[in-house]
Structure 1
């Protein structure tokens, strides 16, 4: 299932979970030219399909690419409309999410839910630096409100640790998160939450966004406290900047999909 969640494309799994490395690999593969003039949305039984010149789009698994509502389908149609002379799947994160959800997550949502819980058992927000004090303060500023919200809002108490030594989380805490995720078991929603979790290393940040506790920018900043501290002191190279930009694009696309699904 983890392979499926690394996205589906062109009938096969994407070559690498890292978006920059994936783009480099795909540059070696000829990309299809844009063959359609207009991308649109059309109602179908149980939802809305994406059409190219009036013909329905299908997933790599040959399923109809249908979304629960028009707003979600419009996100995919907009990605098709934005393509220029060639179709570049790297620039179509919502389409990739839809393909993943329909061809993969829908067949085994429990496996995806459990994978998110595995992240929660070693959540980024639970591992704190013991110094320098500036970094400790920055982690506390961005992470403590989410930990407090999880306790007060979800009923999930997390153990914190200094350094990288693993700390076990209470079984009750993981069970509580599992119950909340079970209420979000629609394939598209789970796929979006999984992408957000894997990109940040934090199931708590993904859930905080989904519950409306954090906006996307605040969650992204919280996920990169340590990295930003290093950048402030040591700088970063061009490849790291590009990698982060690609990852943020995928992260924000997941949030747009979640918002559309709530419409």
Structure 2
């Protein structure tokens, strides 16, 4: 969290908000949730059960349409979808965009990060969804607890830190103090 906050404050890459939004828009077609398994039917069924509700939520919430990839090539992104996402991302300040970018890179999914930001999923669930294929393989071939558990915990911490900074940067709260005269 400290490193993320310092990155947002120091801006070592000398990025602008538009730079980050452009990066997020370029990342979007490679979102993990757009690539269902072509080979493993059981994995594809799992992806359809777990990912389709998130994709449906995303399309409904943002009023966009998104096709899935048919191969290793990214799917097409409609101009309107790109414009909607650009407007949405540009509504955030630089600190929040830095955190969003951090979360997107951790999850490999702008859609999952948006779902976290909108409180559709919690970070732990987003991490499991992002790692769905890996979790499927671990169930099949076995888990190395110290390695896989640590990786999952690290990813959850990264997403949680990103989400915390986004919410701190965007939510406004006011405190009204009472004077001594008001309390009598």
Q: TM-score, normalised to structure 2's length? A: 0.82
**What runs of 5+ residues in structure 1 fail to find an aligned partner?**
1-93
123 and 156 in structure 1: CA distance in 2 versus 1, 3 angstrom threshold: same
Using the TM superposition, give the Cα deviation of residue 132 of structure 1 relative to its aligned residue in structure 2, in angstroms. 2.6
1:126 and 2:34 matched:
yes
User: How far apart, in 2, do the equivalents of 1:151 and 1:247 lie?
Assistant: 25
- Name which of 104, 107, 111 aligns with 1:197: 104
Aligned counterparts of 1:110 and 1:241: Cα–Cα separation in 2: 36
1:153 to 38, 43, 61: 61
TM-score for the superposition, normalised by structure 1: 0.59
- Counterpart among 86, 89, 97 of residue 178 in structure 1: 86
Q: CA deviation at 1:99?
A: 0.8
Paired residues in the alignment total 169
* Cα RMSD for the two superposed structures: 1.9
What's the offset of the Cα at 1:174? 1.4
- The structure with the greater share of residues assigned to helix is 2
Matched, 1:115 2:23: yes
Q: 1:128 to 1:162 in 2, by over 3 A?
A: farther
Which residue is equivalent to 1:239? 147
Unaligned 5+ runs, structure 2: 174-184
Say which is worse superposed, 98-107 or 110-119, in terms of deviation. Answer: 98-107
More relative contact order, 1 or 2 (CA 8 Å, 6+ apart): 2
